[in-house]
A = this chain, B = another copy of it.
Amino acid sequence: MRIGKKTAPSETRARLLLAAIGLFSEKGYDGVAVDEIVAKAHVNKRMVYHYFGSKEAIYREVLREVYVRLTKIELAVVAPDAPIEETLETIVRSYFAFLATNPEFVQLLLWENLGQGRHLAAAGDALSKTPILQVLQQVLNRAVREGRISSGFKTKHLLINLIGLCLIYFSNRYTLSRSIGLNLHSPRVLEKGIAQIVRLVQHGILETSRPRHK
């Protein structure tokens, strides 16, 4: 069947990983059976143990793989001298878009937090290197340094604020949709949300007399 002499080095491994990413992000560690993974990957069960060693091991690989993927994401670069309002908007929109287009990452992150981060240690520091966070942090740092953000705001908490404002639209979709009566799966509703976050952040952290010089 294959053209080369030996089988593709580990197409099997890749298939397993792909299947596992989908399942673990959807149902969490406990909610997935090894049988489901191999079924979805069309692969023999034994292979999980051959390539990974255990269910937990493949789960950790899933975490790592997803984190690493994020490392390679291209981010909208922000012009250093752009008006700060614009910069903030770009940041918020980028992050929000990132969450919207990487549901697996979002879900896995939430599962991990609920599981008290049990597997995080194992996943190494991939997490702390996510460029998303790094870029966010850098831009905020610069804005603070240049005095364009009201003094008194701590960058780290600002980061958390941003994340919280965006993430909630994904982490609590179901309960909020139900209790507030706003369909958070609708793109139009999300767009309204983004706009408001942008406005809130701009008004909230910038000096009232906005573009002082330049």
Q: Which residues of A pack against B, CB within 8 Å?
A: 27-28, 30-31, 107, 109-117, 120, 127-128, 130, 133, 137, 150, 152-154, 156-161, 163-169, 171-176, 178-182, 192-193, 196-197, 199-201, 203-205, 208
Task: Quickly give the copy total for this chain.
Answer: 4
Provide the bound-state CA to CA distance between A137 and B201, in Å: 20
Residue in B114, B117, B201, B208 whose beta carbon sits within 8 Å of that of A114 in the complex: B114
Known: A167-B171, A199-B204. 20 other contacts (CB 8 A): A28-B28, A31-B115, A107-B114, A111-B114, A112-B175, A113-B173, A116-B174, A117-B173, A127-B175, A127-B178, A130-B179, A156-B180, A156-B181, A157-B182, A160-B169, A160-B176, A160-B180, A163-B168, A164-B169, A203-B205
Provide the bound-state CA to CA distance between A182 and B179, in Å: 32
Contact (Cβ within 8 A) B28 A114: yes
Note all chain B residues with C-beta closer than 8 A to A28. Answer: 28, 30, 114
Contact (Cβ within 8 A) B114 A178: no
Give min CB distance, A125 to chain B, whole Å: 8
Contact (Cβ within 8 A) B174 A113: yes
